[in-house]
Structure 1
């Protein structure tokens, strides 16, 4: 399996250190459980395995990155991106916008650059695990490097 993706190329251009972890991507996945299945497959703490969620804030695209075992707060997402209302982006639209397939969406190297926010609570970890731009491939890197590479901000995004 090739580990060259727009995501890993973007990480290399950003000059950040990262490791790659591949796993057998389940074909009978439920979209809400993809990141949890990835955490289980690679033997990682679900709080450190982050899911990339494409959202729309006041009709404009954005990207929210949160722990796989948590739920996104739409109110907090709207606030994080300076808007009034947020909703999940349709999967087909997310795929067209990012250039990645669902289950493989990464905040790094998306086709169209959009604002990115990463859950502030994960900044305490020495490393986090984020999709590497295709199904079955994750990248492991420092959360501060994830911020830099994605041009992101650290914001409270998860529901209480």
Structure 2
């Protein structure tokens, strides 16, 4: 996966899309700056659920038609909250 440094772009200017599994295997899209982390415990608390976790790469590519490193909030096959 290419990051902002390799492209000569400030990491903060890069927006990354993460596919997160919420309660009931519900898919959520999380957008973050390239220089930031997503703390799953804080995210779960913020959206009012017990736990969240990244979907496995196999599940992401099978259900969302994205290659790992190429997920996008645009053109998704399924409606997912962002």
Q: TM-score, normalised by structure 2?
A: 0.82
Partner of 2:6: 41
Runs of 4+ in 1 over 2 A off after TM superposition: 79-82
Partner of 1:105: 71
Contact 1:64–1:77, Cα closer than 8 Å, also in 2: no
Task: Report the count of equivalent residues.
Answer: 81
Residue 107 (structure 1) shift: 1.0
Partner of 2:49: 83
Structure with greater strand share of residues: 1
Q: TM-score, normalised by structure 1?
A: 0.46
Residue 38 (structure 1) shift: 3.0
Contact 1:57–1:81, Cα closer than 8 Å, also in 2: no
How large is the Cα RMSD of the aligned pairs?
Answer: 1.6
For structure 2, list consecutive stretches of 5 or more residues without a partner in the other structure. Answer: none
Residue 103 (structure 1) shift: 1.3
Partner of 1:119: none
Contact 1:95–1:102, Cα closer than 8 Å, also in 2: yes
Q: Name the larger-Rg structure.
A: 1
